[in-house]
Each structure stands twice: as structure tokens, then as C-alpha cells.
Structure 1
Amino acid sequence: MANRSEEVIIHKYFFGNQFGTFDEDRFKDDTDEATVNDGNSNGREDVEEEIFTDTWDSNFSIRYKSNCDSNDDNECATFVAKTCGCALECTSKFPKEIISKSRRDFRTFDYYEFGRNQLDVILLGIIHALVKSEGVVRHARRKIEKERRRLKFSFLFRGRKVCGDFFQFVHGVKRKRLHNLLAHYKRNGYNVLERVHKNYLNAPSTNLSGDIKQKCVKFIRNYAEDCATYHFGPISSTAPALTLLPVSETKQKIYKKYETAAQLLGLKVASKKMFYRLWTEHCSDLVLYQKPKNETAEGEDVELSEPSQDHLELIGSQPEQYHFIAIPSFNDPVHISFDFAQQIHIPSNQQDPGPMYFLDLYKVSIFGVVNETCNRQCRYVIPEAVIFPKSQAVNAMVCYLHHYFQEFTAGEAELDLHAYNCTPQTKNNCLMQYLAWRIGQELNTKITLTFVSANLSKLDPKYKFGLFKSKLQQSATSCLNDVVEVLNSTDADSAVDFSFLVGNEKGELYMDVYDWQVAFSAAHFARIPFITNQSYFYFDNRWRGKVKCLKTIGDVMQTYTIFESSYDVSKMNFEKIKPLGLSYERKLYLYEHVRPYCAEESQDVVCPLPSTNVKGTKRQRVE
């Protein structure tokens, strides 16, 4: 019998996808593909060869790759250069272009449609035309006739006699495949419906279903969720963010934990080779720490350090500028930085992990805004029921900033903002239009927005999020109130940090969310071209409705017009929107699978019994 800790580890890793949408199509069962051997002729002048003899010459002079994606032109050039080796000199009878085109054309038909390989159908037709059809063999001396036991096949290409090797090459097949087709023709004639592999419908004993592979990948992902360290800095748009596992962990140790957990659940266990392959194919962003090497080749350390030096030169004076702006001061401008934290899940109990690792738990997002002048942070706790879809996520982020400026600031005239260079999460045109709108509304006189370059993780929200995650690993949470309590107890020395619930588990909002995108579009606010290339944005009432941008310090400043200076932004109308809420299927899943792991007093709050299956619309506006 497994103890409580083992049972918790089991389910927590196997059920649930905490890393976004899971692509199940990538786990379709493997299918057997027929393999064939290549061959070559024995060089006889007589091209009428007996196919089903025990004396087939199996010593082949040329071997070719069977990968259909290989370069046919290179294969053809090699084949023509080495020749087929027969007395007929087949390669000299046809131009190289015809040989290459024929091979390429036939291989394009090597696919399955309606359960039959189309190249096999074509080859059976060629065999039907070239095989000798007499059913008897006549002996002139004995003057007797007897039934033919073997087929005779004439190798022809474009009406000219060729050897077996050349015939196989120009038709894109190998000896074994041609041999099997001739055997099929002898038994069934030209009946393509009877050609079925003997192992058809017989899955190999080592074959794993897509569900087992999916659970294996979920185990790896959810294990990394708790035990890994995430690469600091924003996610690059061209490369995935790396998740680093400690050096004490190895793939073999993680596989042993997976094997134990799967056996306790009664699941079919993937082999170690399959486990490693799934890790490589679907979890390539999970990297094990590598111990530093003691020695490097001469000049290698300089070569490896060049990219880092180039990056440091590129960001230039950004760190110094950041620290200069962030010097505590109670005068304008006020320095504020904001960022999203890593998504967390409830219920959670890091001291007793287990069945929850296999479940898709209730998601909670956190958005942090830090006033670094007075070292005060506001954490917006966003439950899954009020998380907006991707098309509305920008509106939500702008609303959190707007709410912070309206409720938790003292009306400062000048603002210095810092954020990570994450497109489109924090870096988007809607945010730029909002800041220009604030200048137009005379809410601020000057706003500077700086996006920190990649790998420069010096912003205050990251530090405070790290403290929160460390505290969360020592706490048990079952509802949003528990999350808020952990957040408020993160920094015991700070009496000014606080948390704000955006909504509750039912999907009710505690703040107004506006459709900024639609309002700015209706007012014909312009978008900044090539916004991803810019890092510094300056808004000022001296150039109302415009923004000045810089890529790096020292570049030529570019000016873009967002709206005309004469436009009255006070007449703009902002409509309130509300989230879609949880679907009926999601509520039912939480009730059936997640509810048992919540504290008894939180079960009806986080995972209540859904009433009816009511489908929501794409966008629900407040009347």
C-alpha cells in the first residue's frame, strides 16, 4: 500500500496540463511502415529473370537511403556516376534528367489513400503489363506441357529493356517491395483490395496509446512546475523560455518516480527509451543543470563569451539608468514597475504533493505593480473565472494599471515606468494609446516608459514574486482568500504591501474593466509601427497626442502621432466588459476531479456543483 505522500505525488503529476493547451494530435499511435531492402542485378544479358528462385543474387553493389525526403538529384547523380553495373549499360540509354524525374514522380505517389498505397496500385498495373501470362511451360524435346510454378517478368522502361536495379531505381522501390508485389500478383492477380499487411490491426506489444503518452508528458511538466527554476527574464519571441532542473536531478531519477507513480495508479508504464524520447520531443525547454567544465580549449572561452559581450554593449547604460531612476525620492517623477507573475494553481499543498499533480487545477494569475519610490507593491489576484480571453487580455492589463493609478497613487504629475520587453503581454499599442490618453486628459504631464532588455531581471516585481513563491511552497492554499493571506505574509517587514482581488471564484468583478481597444479604434488612434523594435517611449504635454521613441540610448529619436493635438479625448466613451466566466464543462471538471482536494470549507466556493449547461458568448457587455 502506498502512503499518503506517494498517493499525492501520483495524481498531481499525471492529471492536469499546467503549461497551456496540450496538443493531443502529436500522440497518435505509431503505425508500422513496410520496410524494403535495396538490391542490384547480377549483370546477366538476359533480362527475363525468374523472381521466385532461391538463387537470387543478394550481393548488391550500391545501397541507397530509404528516406523519402532525401535529395533525389544527388541520388540520381550517384547512381549514374557508378552505373548499374550490368552489361546492358542502362544508365547510358536515358538522360539523367529523365531518370531523376521518373524516380521523383513515382515517389510522390508513395502515400496511403482509402487504405491503399497508391504507388503499390501503380506498380501492380506495371507488373500486370510486363509479366508473362502463359499458364503452362512447354518442353520442346520432351514434347510435354506442365503448369508454370514461377512468374517471369521482363524489366522494361519506356519500351527499352533494362536490368532489375535500374527498374527499381527509376520506380523508387527496393527489391523486397517489388518481390512482395510480385508474390501478391501471383496469388491474387490485379486485386489491390487483397493486399493487406499481415500485421494489420495487430499493434505491437510495446505500443503506447496517445493517452499514456499524454500522461507521461504531463508528469514531466507538472514535476518541473514544482521542482524547477525558471529562467529569469522575459520570454523571447524566437526561442522558448528555459526551465532549469537542479543538478541533483537526473532523467533516470525522474523516470523512476514516474514508473512508481504509474504502477500505483495501474497505468501502463512507458519504457525508459520512450520516456526520454517524449522528453526530447515535447519538453525540450526543460534543461538539467550542467556542472561547469574545468578546462576549455584555447580560445574557446573567448569565442563563447563574445555573444555575452555583444549583449552587454547593446543594452549599454540601461542598468545604470534604471538604478538612477529608481533612487528613492518623494518628488516627481515617481518610479513604477509592473509585471505578471508566474501563474499558480489552487488547491496546493507543496508539503503533501500527489494526486493534484495529475489534475488541471483552478488557475490564479497575479499582476504586480511596485512603487519603488516608497517600496510599495500592489498585487492584483486574478482568479480563473475572471481571466479574459487572449483577445481581451490587453484590455485587462491596461485596466489594472488604470485602477492602480486612480486608487493607489497621489496624483503624481510625472511617471517613470519600467516593464519587461514582453510582446504583446506588456508591450502593445493599446498601452501606448492609453498613456497618450492620460496626457490628453491632463492626468499626467510627463510619462516615460522603458522596456528592459532580455535577461536583465532587475525589476522589483520579480524579487517580490520570488519571495511569494518561496512562501507559497511552505503553505497550503484552497481558495483565493488563502492566496491573499500568503501574499500579505510574504514580506513581514513591509507594512505597505497589499493585495487586491480582481474578482471572486464565481466570476464577479470587484473593479471596472473597459474595452480600451474598441474605444481607441473608434477614435482613430494610430498605432506605432515596428513597436517591437523600440525600447524607450516618451509622452509629454508639450507634444500632446504624440510619442517619441528610441531603440537604444544614442539613437535618433523618432516621433509618431497617435491622435491630433486638437482632439478632445474627454468625449471618448468607454464601454464596460465582463469576462466569460467558466464554461459548464470546466465547472463540471472542477467539481468531479478537483473538489475532493479542497478544504471542506472551500469546496462550495472553488468547485461548486454546476447548475445547467449554459454556453457563453464571445463577449458579454454590461448593460
Structure 2
Amino acid sequence: MDADYATVRQFLEIGCGCKNKCTVNFEIGQVYHHILNMRELTKAEKDIIVMSNLKCGNDLTTKRGKPRKRSMVSYNAFQKPVCKKTFMLVNDIGRSALENLVDHYKQNGPLPRKHGNVGKKPSQAVIYDDVKRVVEFLQNYADTYGIPQPAAPRGSDNTPPIYLDSGKTKLTIHKEYIESCREAGVRSLQRTAFCEIWKSCLCHIRIASPRDDVCATCEGHRKNIMKAIEESEKLEAAENFKQHVINAQKERELYNDCVKRAKETCILSSDKRTNHYTFDFSQNVSIPHFSRRMGPIYFMSLRKVQIFGVRIDGLPKQLNFLIDESETMGIDGTQTHGPNAVISMLDMVLDTHGRGESTCSIHADNCPAQNKNRYLIGYFTWRVMTGRHDVIEYHMQIPGHARCLVDSGFGHLKKLYRRSNIETMDSLTQMVNMSSASNEAVRYPAWNWRDWKGFLSRLFCPVPAIRQYQYFRMTTEEPGVVTMRTRVGCPEVKVTVTIDGVHIPYQQPQIVEAKALSRNRQEYLYKVVRPYLSDANKDATCPCPETSL
């Protein structure tokens, strides 16, 4: 039974003890439900209802003009007069609360009560001078130790941010603020109020987060700003930094436009369709891998698997080529990042996963040895001259500003990889397919390694000063001619890359067989790594050296 219900029943059975016996006319359910209704009200609403059932004498003085010590108070419940004890039970109110409410009623009438501190500012409240001192301290601190950023467009706020050293924290800066206030002999604020003022008044002053793979040019500009002594030197360094960020922003807008155009035209016919591809290498993974990694494995040279990703934004889909050590063009996992390997996998994607589009744009990381070289430019020119595409645009992103959708696919892959137990290539393939709806694993020999370097070097000549250019375009209207520019909006330069008198064949170059593991590598995996594998997977990952891999 409910405790409140039992209390009401006991009170009505025993009675209130007054001579009028005011509890006789009430029922248990009536009183119980009224109590529950009173508890659902706010404090102000409850006060109004209680005062509406009170009746107090308005005369606060006696006939002789002296203050009246007592005044008659009558109580009503359910439109019937009751005693004070019954009134307190029915309205779920205590003695002290009722007496305070009666005193308020006598002095102010049936008006809502207000707390005595309403409208008053406590002595420890933050005042204008406190806020001003915090703002001035942070501004001076940022001028001394901060690294100002260029005012490039960032959303709706064009205020240039100022970054403090990542080694600093708000706690250490607050301690320095307290020390400066102590030396000045003024009041200091606690850390919570200090951080709130920082957040609301100086949100553009931030603590830099630790980062890797940052732009070397950006870091150079930041150091120049910090080393600048004269105001003119600092303004010049900041302007150079601003121009660099704006150029990177333009390249980012070009990348987003290519992705948007590929998604919008994917439903059109092949002659009107434009596809967009992005490719890059991910950090290699190791087999075996355990979510709870055993200590000795940290010191072993495990079986390496390279991952080459190609993002097809028109589908959208990301193909992740899983390249085991025994499936590379070189022995023991070598020659996986050269032009031969990159073009072999990219050629497979364009031939088998393209949708017959006549125009495509391709984005890649700005790596000269891997992506920006005469062989990639020659390969795209060869595809256009052999009728495989009408137009190919090849874009290089600015180093340090090359984050793209293929990296997001790698992120999903690595996130699941870290918490998975993987002992074989089959389990790694399954993990890649499960990591994201757009991720798809591709295993060798789904593609063929080919000698593209030897093939293309006989057909196309090197591009002069290729490293300074970020944009390349090949079209059927100008076969053998590459149109280049250094960045978005710059003048275009055209150069002929075909060698005079050389016939461009339609056939692809000869196939190169993958190299197996060396004997020493096989023995190492068998003796050192094999004991940590489960019995069912030992022969698949670390077979006996006599067994052919």
C-alpha cells in the first residue's frame, strides 16, 4: 500500500482532534488525490491555491493603535471550514511553510512570493572590471605567445584566429593570470569564470591541438610570423600566409566541385557523364593482428599488407587493393609504390569499374615519385589517344591540404582493424568489406602487374618542370598535348609529350608476374611468427618454407 494513502486513511480514522470533527465529511480518495495534484504544481502555483483557501483579518493594529500580535486565520478545504491540522494535511504543507505563507498574506495579500535576494547582486559576483582584466590579460598573452592565422573565409566569422602553443593548457594560463593579479593587487577569478569569459569574449584565441601530417609551408609561415619583430614584417608574413591558405581553399573548392559534378551526372548517358576518381596509399597493416596484442609481437617483423585505395565518387564506392608481401612486383613486398604498381591498379579500375564515361577527373596526392611523374602523365595521354577517354583532368592537391574522401574510407577501415583479430588475408578481406558500406576489398590476381615504365618511356617524353604544376588536362582535340597550370586561376601552358614518329599502340604492355617471398623471409615467418597463430591459420599465413606460397 502507498505510504501517503496509509497516512491519509490513518488520519481520517483517528480524526484531527478538534471539537468540530472536520475530517468526518471527507473521503480517503478525495484527500489522497488532492495531495497528489498539489505535488504536481510549481511552488508559485501551490502558494496561490493555499492562499485562496485562507481568510485573515486585515486589521494589523489594535483599537488602541498597538501592533496586533495575533490575528484570526480561518482555513477552508473543499469549500468547508477546517482546522489548521486538517488544512496542512489536505494541502500537503508543513507548519513553518504555512506560517510564512500566512505572514506574507497578511502583509501583501494573495500575491506571489519573491525571494529576498531577487534583484540583488551577491558580493562575490563577477563585475565589469573583473571581465575587463581577464580580456586584457588574454589579449596581451596572445600578442606575446600567439601565432596569428590569416583571415581566410571561415564560415560566417572572418575574425582571424590566434593559436597558442599546444603545450599550454587553460589551467596553466589561468595560473599565470592568478599570479599577475596577485602582483597587481587586484581580485582574480576562479578557473570556471575565467574560461567562460575566454569562450564568450575571445573565442578566436585558441589553443592549438597536436597534429601530424601538417603542411610544411604553413609551418614555415607560422615561424616567420613568430620571428617577425617589426610590425611591417609581421604584416608581410601574415599576408603571405593568408595567400597560401586562400590558394589551398581554392583547390579544395575545385575538389568539391569535381565530386559534386560526378554525383549529379551519374544518372546521365555515358557521353554526358563525368566521373571523378581519387587514389592514394594507406599506411600498411600487419598480419597477424590482435585486438589484445601480446608483448613479444611488438618486436617482430610481421607479414605486411599494403593498401591502395581508389575512390569512385560517381557510384560511390572505394576499391581497396590488398597487396600481400608475396604478391608484389618486387621480392619481399618491394616495388609497391612505384609508377608500375600505381598505373597497373589504376588501369584495372578505369577499365572494369568505369561506367563508360567520356570525361573523368582524377585527384591524387602531390608525391613526385609516386603520382606526379612522366609515366602517369604519359599513361593518361595514352588512354586519350587510344580512345578510352575523350578528356582526362589530373589534379594534384597541395601537400598538407590533401584530405579527401579516400582518407575517410581508410579511416573506417583502420577503426575496425584496431579492434579485430586478423590472422589471414581472407579475414582481412572480410574486415575491409565490413568496415563501411562503400568499402570493397580487391585481392590479387584480380589485376595484373604490367611494365608500364618501359612501355610508356618509349612513347612519351618527360614533362619539363613538372613539379611546379598542379593541374594537367589531356583531350582528344589535341592528341599528345598536355595542358598544365600551376594552380587554380593561373595561365595555362601547353606541351607536347609524344615522341615524333612513334606509333601509339592500343594494346597494354606485357604482364609481370608477382615475386614470392625470399627463403630467409619464409623461414623468419615460420619460426618466429607462426607460434602466435591459431592452428587453423598457421599454414595460410606462415607455411613451411618448402611449401610454395
Higher relative contact order at CA 8 Å, sep ≥6: structure 1 or structure 2? Answer: 1
Question: Deviations 1:221-243 (Å, cap 9, x if unpaired)?
Answer: xxxxxxxxxxxxxxxxxxxxxxx
**Match 1:451 to one of 374, 384, 396:** 396
Question: Deviations 1:198-232 (Å, cap 9, x if unpaired)?
Answer: xxxxxxxxxxxxxxxxxxxxxxxxxxxxxxxxxxx
Question: Deviations 1:65-106 (Å, cap 9, x if unpaired)?
Answer: xxxxxxxxxxxxxxxxxxxxxxxxxxxxxxxxxxxxxxxxxx
Change (3 A) 1:533 1:486: same
Shift of 1:458: 3.1
CA contact (8 A) 1:316 1:553 kept: no
| Cα distance in 2, alignment partners of residues 436 and 593 from structure 1 | 48
* 2:476 maps to 1:535: no
**Consecutive unaligned residues in structure 1, runs of 5 or more:** 1-244, 249-284, 288-295, 503-508, 615-623
State the one-letter code of the partner of 1:354: G
Secondary structure class of the residue paired with 2:544: coil
| Cα distance in 2, alignment partners of residues 596 and 403 from structure 1 | 37
* 2:306 maps to 1:365: yes
* 2:520 maps to 1:585: yes
| Cα distance in 1, alignment partners of residues 547 and 465 from structure 2 | 47
| Cα distance in 1, alignment partners of residues 327 and 468 from structure 2 | 32
**Match 1:317 to one of 237, 241, 250:** 250
Question: Deviations 1:473-508 (Å, cap 9, x if unpaired)?
Answer: 1101111111111111111xx2x5321102xxxxxx
Secondary structure class of the residue paired with 2:442: strand
Output aligned runs, 1:350-389, within 5 Å.
Answer: 350-389=291-330
Change (3 A) 1:421 1:571: closer
CA contact (8 A) 2:329 2:449 kept: no
Q: Which has the larger radius of gyration?
A: 2
| TM-score of the superposed pair, with normalisation by structure 2 | 0.53
**Match 1:483 to one of 393, 415, 428:** 428
CA contact (8 A) 2:375 2:457 kept: no
| TM-score of the superposed pair, with normalisation by structure 1 | 0.47
Give the total of aligned pairs: 316
Question: Deviations 1:274-320 (Å, cap 9, x if unpaired)?
Answer: xxxxxxxxxxx999xxxxxxxx9997997986664242134351111
| Cα distance in 2, alignment partners of residues 417 and 547 from structure 1 | 15
Which position in structure 2 is the counterpart of 1:501?
A: 443
Shift of 1:534: 1.0
* 2:448 maps to 1:512: yes
Which position in structure 2 is the counterpart of 1:341?
A: 282
| Cα distance in 2, alignment partners of residues 391 and 475 from structure 1 | 28
CA contact (8 A) 2:394 2:472 kept: yes
**Match 2:405 to one of 460, 468, 483:** 460
| Cα distance in 1, alignment partners of residues 442 and 245 from structure 2 | 37
Change (3 A) 1:368 1:529: same
CA contact (8 A) 1:545 1:565 kept: no
Output aligned runs, 1:147-166, within 5 Å.
Answer: none
Change (3 A) 1:375 1:575: same
* 2:380 maps to 1:435: yes
Which position in structure 2 is the counterpart of 1:163?
A: none
Which position in structure 2 is the counterpart of 1:474?
A: 419
Shift of 1:611: 2.0
Output aligned runs, 1:26-105, within 5 Å.
Answer: none
CA contact (8 A) 1:544 1:565 kept: no
State the one-letter code of the partner of 1:497: N
| Cα distance in 2, alignment partners of residues 466 and 314 from structure 1 | 26
Shift of 1:552: 1.2
Shift of 1:589: 0.7
Question: Deviations 1:303-350 (Å, cap 9, x if unpaired)?
Answer: 986664242134351111111111122142111111111111110113
Shift of 1:410: 1.6
State the one-letter code of the partner of 1:356: I
Secondary structure class of the residue paired with 1:588: helix
Q: Percent identity?
A: 25
| Cα distance in 2, alignment partners of residues 560 and 356 from structure 1 | 52
State the one-letter code of the partner of 2:279: F
Which position in structure 2 is the counterpart of 1:408?
A: 353
State the one-letter code of the partner of 2:469: Q
CA contact (8 A) 2:461 2:499 kept: no
CA contact (8 A) 1:514 1:577 kept: yes
Change (3 A) 1:314 1:381: same
CA contact (8 A) 1:479 1:602 kept: yes
State the one-letter code of the partner of 1:592: K
State the one-letter code of the partner of 2:372: K
